[in-house]
């Protein structure tokens, strides 16, 4: 559809191996999609970072250029675009579940939705040590809380779960929270997740994580073709529709 004679392949690169892998690439390579922990390991190897990479502290997309490696973050775009598809373009209060790298992107996404206060619920505050810095760079007031012995309560209108798909919260979030807010669950396998099932059972709305993956991939293709995640692809609506069909969405 884009007329590109390209191949997109999976390569397994272990922690500490990224620099050596990059050194072995030839000029036929256009770019890379990275998962953790490589999203952070790549940072000192970049000659340029997008503003979102600076805010979030992670790059999931790398463009190989004559000047060197340029890093971008399309995870934030994936979150906000998936929410926009569900009719959510603004949120005054956001609750984020989990404190890892995806939570950092969720904080930046909350900023894009206009939120000025974000609560992050974690099991271990130590795993969320980088999030206050992310919130400060994004200009958001951050509150860290721990999962406790009581059902999770909040008046947030949007809940973003960055927990693994198989994670089970015990006790489960309150029925009032589930019914009164939209859950964006970044998990996609298994689906529905236990958390999504809880939300749906209480009559709440759920946005699935597979939609985030779709849109962050569109952002990556933008980078690989035009060097920027902000320049739409030719016939992008058709490209996105084809991607939706491919994943059954």
Q: CA triplet 154, 157, 160: central angle to 5 degrees? A: 80
Burial (CB count <10 Å: 0-12, 13-18, 19+), residue 124: exposed
List helix spans (H) across 70-167: 75-85, 101-112, 131-138
Note if the bond before 37 is cis, omega within 30 degrees. Answer: yes
- Residues with active-site annotation: 39
Q: Which long-range contacts link 165-173 to residues 24+ away (Cβ below 8 Å)?
A: 165/189, 165/190, 165/191, 165/193, 165/209, 166/190, 166/193, 166/194, 167/193, 167/194, 167/195, 168/194, 168/195, 169/97, 169/194, 169/195, 169/198, 172/198, 173/198, 173/199
């Amino acid at each position: 559809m884009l007329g590109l004679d390209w191949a997109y392949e999976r390569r397994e690169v272990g922690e500490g191996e990224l620099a050596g892998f990059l050194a072995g690439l030839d000029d036929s390579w256009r770019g890379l999609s990275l998962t953790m922990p490589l999203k952070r390991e790549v940072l000192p190897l970049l000659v340029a970072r997008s503003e979102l990479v600076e805010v979030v502290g992670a790059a999931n997309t790398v463009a190989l250029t004559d000047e060197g490696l340029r890093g971008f973050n399309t995870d934030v775009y994936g979150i906000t675009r998936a929410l926009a598809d569900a009719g959510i373009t603004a949120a005054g209060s956001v609750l984020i579940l989990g404190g890892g790298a995806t939570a950092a992107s969720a904080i930046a996404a909350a900023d894009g939705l206009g939120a000025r206060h974000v609560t992050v619920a974690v099991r271990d505050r130590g795993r969320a040590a980088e999030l206050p810095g992310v919130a400060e760079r994004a200009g958001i007031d951050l509150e860290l809380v721990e999962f406790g012995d009581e059902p999770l309560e909040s008046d947030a209108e949007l809940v973003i779960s960055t927990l693994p798909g198989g994670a089970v919260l015990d006790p489960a979030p309150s029925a009032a929270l589930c019914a009164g807010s939209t859950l964006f669950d970044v998990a996609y396998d298994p689906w529905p997740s236990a958390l999504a099932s809880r939300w749906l059972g209480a009559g709440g709305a759920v946005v699935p994580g597979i939609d985030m993956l779709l849109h962050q991939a569109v952002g990556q293709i933008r980078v690989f073709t035009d060097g920027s995640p902000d320049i739409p692809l030719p016939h992008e609506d058709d490209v996105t529709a084809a991607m939706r069909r491919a994943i059954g969405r």
